[in-house]
Structure 1
Amino acid sequence: MRNASLDRRILAITVPAFAALICEPLMLMADTAIVGHLGRAELAALGAASTILSTVVGLCVFLAYGSTATVARHQGAGDQRRALEAALGGVWLALLIGVVLGTLAALTARPLGAALASSDRVADLTTDYLLVASASIPAVLLVLAATGALRGVLDLRTPLVVMIAANVLNVVLTVALVYGADLGMRGAALGLVLAQWAAALALVGQVVRRSRHTHASARLRWPDVTRAGRDGVPLLLRTLSLRAVLLLATLVAAGFGDASLAAHQIATTIVMLLAFALDAFAIAAQTLTGHSLGAGDAAGTREVTRRVIAWGFGFGLAAGVLLAVSAPWVARAFSPDADVRAAAVPALLIVAAIQPLSGVVFVLDGVLIGAGDGVYLAWAGLVALLVYAPVALLIRETDAGFTWLWGAYALFQATRWVTLWLRQRGDRWLVLGAR
Structure 2
Amino acid sequence: MEKNPIRVIFKDAGHTFKKDELGKEIARIAFPAALALMADPIASLVDTAFIGRIGPVELAAVGVSIAIFNQVSRIAIFPLVSITTSFVAEDDANCTITRDEIDIEETRKSPLKEEEMNEMLPRDDPEKQTNKPLGFVNTKTNDTYLECEKRHIPSAYSALVFGSILGLLQAVILIFGARSILSIMGVKHGSPMLTPAEQYLKLRSLGSPAVLLSLATQGVFRGFKDTKTPLFATVIGDATNIILDPIFMFVLKLGVRGAAIAHVVSQYLLMLILLWRLCMKIKVVPPSITDLQYDRFLKNGFLLLARVIAVTFCVTLAASMAAREGSVPMAAFQVCLQVWLTTSLLADGLAVAGQAILASAFAVGDHEKARITATRVLQLGLALGLILSVVLGLGLRFGGQIFTRDVHVLHLMRVGIPFVAITQPINSLAFVFDGLNFGASDFAYSAWSMVLVAIASIGCLILLSWSKGFIGIWIALTIYMSLRMLAGFWRIGTATGPWKFLRT
**TM-score, structure 1 normalization:** 0.82
Matched, 1:307 2:376: yes
Preserved contact between residue 132 and residue 186 of structure 1 (Cα < 8 Å): yes
Aligned to 1:243: 312
Q: Separation in 2 of the partners of 1:234 and 1:53?
A: 21
Q: Which deviates more, 157-166 or 185-194? A: 185-194
Q: Separation in 1 of the partners of 2:95 and 2:477?
A: 42
Any idea what SS the aligned residue of 1:217 has? coil
Say if 1:413 and 1:174 are closer, same or farther in 2 by CA, change over 3 A: closer
Matched, 1:385 2:454: yes
Matched, 1:196 2:254: no
Matched, 1:71 2:84: no
Q: Which deviates more, 111-120 or 222-231? A: 111-120
Preserved contact between residue 222 and residue 356 of structure 2 (Cα < 8 Å): yes
Cα distance, 1:376 vs structure 2: 0.7
Residues 158-207 of structure 1, C-alpha deviations (whole Å, 9 max, x = no match): 11111122223445566666678777766654443333222212212333
Report % sequence identity.
Answer: 26
Preserved contact between residue 84 and residue 207 of structure 1 (Cα < 8 Å): no
> Which of these residues, 149, 153, 156, is aligned with residue 224 of structure 2?
153
Cα distance, 1:410 vs structure 2: 3.4
Aligned to 1:163: 234
Say if 1:194 and 1:301 are closer, same or farther in 2 by CA, change over 3 A: same
Any idea what SS the aligned residue of 1:61 has? helix
Q: Which has the higher contact order (CA 8 A, sep 6+)?
A: 2
Cα distance, 1:239 vs structure 2: 1.7
Q: Separation in 2 of the partners of 1:266 and 1:173?
A: 21
Q: Which deviates more, 20-29 or 188-197? A: 188-197
Q: Separation in 2 of the partners of 1:372 and 1:404?
A: 36
Preserved contact between residue 84 and residue 210 of structure 1 (Cα < 8 Å): no
Say if 1:219 and 1:106 are closer, same or farther in 2 by CA, change over 3 A: farther
Any idea what SS the aligned residue of 1:211 has? coil
Cα distance, 1:271 vs structure 2: 2.0
Q: Which residue identity is paired with 1:409? A: L
Aligned to 2:488: 420
Preserved contact between residue 281 and residue 308 of structure 1 (Cα < 8 Å): yes
Preserved contact between residue 88 and residue 207 of structure 1 (Cα < 8 Å): no
Q: Which deviates more, 100-109 or 5-14? A: 100-109
Q: Which deviates more, 419-428 or 323-332? A: 323-332
Return 5+ residue gaps in structure 1 as ranges. Answer: none
Preserved contact between residue 293 and residue 430 of structure 1 (Cα < 8 Å): no
CA RMSD of aligned residues (A): 3.9
Q: Separation in 1 of the partners of 2:405 and 2:249?
A: 32
> Which of these residues, 158, 162, 172, is aligned with residue 89 of structure 1?
158
Matched length:
429
Residues 284-330 of structure 1, C-alpha deviations (whole Å, 9 max, x = no match): 11111112112221110011000001001111122223444566436
Q: Separation in 2 of the partners of 1:44 and 1:220?
A: 46
Q: Which deviates more, 123-132 or 351-360? A: 123-132
Preserved contact between residue 320 and residue 352 of structure 1 (Cα < 8 Å): yes
> Which of these residues, 170, 182, 193, is aligned with residue 101 of structure 1?
170
Q: Separation in 2 of the partners of 1:417 and 1:38?
A: 38
Q: Separation in 1 of the partners of 2:415 and 2:48?
A: 29
Q: Separation in 2 of the partners of 1:211 and 1:156?
A: 16
Aligned to 2:477: 409
Cα distance, 1:114 vs structure 2: 7.2
Preserved contact between residue 244 and residue 262 of structure 2 (Cα < 8 Å): yes
Say if 1:408 and 1:431 are closer, same or farther in 2 by CA, change over 3 A: same
Q: Separation in 1 of the partners of 2:496 and 2:426?
A: 22
Aligned to 2:386: 317
Residues 52-95 of structure 1, C-alpha deviations (whole Å, 9 max, x = no match): 33332222232222211111122222356587210120110010
- Structure with the greater alpha carbon radius of gyration: 2
Q: Separation in 2 of the partners of 1:178 and 1:402?
A: 30
> Which of these residues, 25, 30, 46, is aligned with residue 9 of structure 1?
25
Q: Separation in 2 of the partners of 1:99 and 1:240?
A: 19
Say if 1:334 and 1:163 are closer, same or farther in 2 by CA, change over 3 A: closer
Aligned to 2:432: 363
Say if 1:94 and 1:244 are closer, same or farther in 2 by CA, change over 3 A: same
Preserved contact between residue 117 and residue 126 of structure 1 (Cα < 8 Å): no
> Which of these residues, 121, 125, 142, is aligned with residue 213 of structure 2?
142
Residues 215-271 of structure 1, C-alpha deviations (whole Å, 9 max, x = no match): 982665574134223222222222211222223434555677887666544543342
Aligned to 1:23: 39
Q: Which residue identity is paired with 1:194? A: V
Q: Separation in 2 of the partners of 1:412 and 1:96?
A: 32
Q: Which residue identity is paired with 1:418? A: L
Q: Which has the higher helix share?
A: 1
Q: Which residue identity is paired with 1:280? A: G
